[in-house]
């Protein structure tokens, strides 16, 4: 069965609540395309107004992070049940900015992934190598280690429903996109890793995105690759260009 493309915006730390509503209203008609899943991953404070503004549209809302505990004395954190109750469907976990600036490691991410599934959220799990790792020739090894560690104890049925985003760190926010060949090579390696740890049916079902300077000009070629099931889009998700990315086929 063909995998449905999933194109997700990652707003990062941009947009105040009122700006967020304005952006959703601007983008709503531009991203109206039922052939792909369209997700807006937004800052926590924007979730409630964005869910409201997106009502009646094809836009699904995602969070950019969450904590693995249900509730309690974890000042400043947000739990999976809180996200679900607010209308969130997806959650980005393990973005390289979280791994780097906030020191999130694979052991922590494994807890977050399991909690997301338990709560009924779909994780968008990020992986990706540094430029140094790529130049050393260990990009694939590194990504395989991330995926295997982050998915310990996660079942094949769960993996089938999730999204894995391959985002080379050197391509994020730099304007440097991986070449189509580089992106496809690693997205295929992600799928092969899933086939190895689980089975071919799971690997055929999991959706693998490419992320890192995706824009209206390169989306069509990237998304045409056999193992690239869409994109995780940062900078270009804050502009009308996001509509062109979602409609990359037209």
Task: Write out the binding residues for ligand PGA, residues 198-227 only, by CB under 6 A.
Answer: 211-214
Q: Which of 235, 243, 244, 246 binds ligand PGA (CB under 6 A)?
A: 235
Site string for ligand PGA, 173-192 (x = CB under 6 A): x-------------------
* Annotated catalytic residue within 97, 129, 167, 184: 167
Count of chain residues binding ligand PGA (CB under 6 A): 13
Q: Let me know: does 218 contact 209? Beta carbons within 8 Å.
A: no
Q: Does 172 bind ligand PGA (CB under 6 A)?
A: yes
118 is an active site residue: no
Q: Does 94 bind ligand PGA (CB under 6 A)?
A: no
Cβ distance to ligand PGA smaller for residue 120 or 240: 240
Closest CA to 233 of 203, 213, 208: 213
Tokens of 236: 């270009």
3-state helix, strand, coil in the chain (%, to 5): 45, 15, 40
* Annotated catalytic residue within 64, 95, 97, 184: 95
Cβ distance to ligand PGA smaller for residue 47 or 202: 47
Residues 6+ apart with CB under 8 A from 94: 104, 106, 109, 112, 125, 126, 127, 146, 150
Residue 216: phi and psi, rounded to 5, are -65, -25
- Beta bridge partner(s), residue 210: 166, 231
52 is an active site residue: no
Q: What SS3 class is residue 107?
A: helix
Closest CA to 160 of 168, 169, 151: 151
Question: Smallest distance from the beta carbon of 216 to ligand PGA, in angstroms?
Answer: 12
Q: Does 232 bind ligand PGA (CB under 6 A)?
A: yes
Q: Does 10 bind ligand PGA (CB under 6 A)?
A: yes
Q: Does 234 bind ligand PGA (CB under 6 A)?
A: yes
Cβ distance to ligand PGA smaller for residue 104 or 167: 167
Q: Let me know: does 125 contact 109? Beta carbons within 8 Å.
A: yes
Where on the chain is the footprint of ligand PGA (CB under 6 A)? 10, 167, 172-173, 211-214, 232-236
So which residues are the catalytic ones? 95, 167
């Amino acid at each position: 069965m063909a995998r449905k493309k999933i194109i997700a915006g990652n707003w990062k730390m941009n947009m105040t609540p009122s700006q967020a509503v304005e952006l959703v209203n601007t983008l709503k008609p531009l991203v109206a395309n039922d052939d792909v899943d369209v997700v807006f991953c937004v800052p926590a404070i924007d979730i409630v107004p964005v869910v409201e503004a997106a009502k009646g549209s094809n836009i699904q809302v995602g969070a950019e992070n969450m904590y693995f505990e249900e509730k309690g004395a974890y000042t400043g954190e947000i739990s999976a049940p809180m996200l679900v109750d607010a209308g969130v469907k997806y959650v980005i976990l393990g973005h390289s900015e979280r791994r780097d600036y906030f020191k999130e490691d694979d052991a922590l991410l494994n807890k977050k992934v399991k909690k997301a599934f338990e709560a009924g959220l779909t994780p968008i799990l990020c992986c990706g190598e540094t430029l140094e790792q790529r130049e050393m020739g260990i990009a694939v090894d590194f990504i395989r280690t991330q995926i295997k560690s982050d998915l310990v104890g996660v079942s094949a049925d769960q993996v089938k429903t999730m999204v894995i985003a391959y985002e080379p760190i050197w391509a994020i926010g730099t304007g440097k996109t991986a070449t189509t060949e580089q992106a496809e090579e690693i997205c295929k390696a992600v799928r092969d890793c899933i086939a190895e740890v689980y089975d071919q049916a799971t690997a055929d079902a999991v959706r693998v995105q490419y992320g890192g300077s995706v824009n209206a000009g390169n989306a069509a070629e990237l998304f045409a690759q056999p193992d690239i099931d869409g994109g995780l889009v940062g900078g270009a998700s804050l502009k009308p260009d996001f509509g062109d990315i979602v409609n990359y086929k037209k």
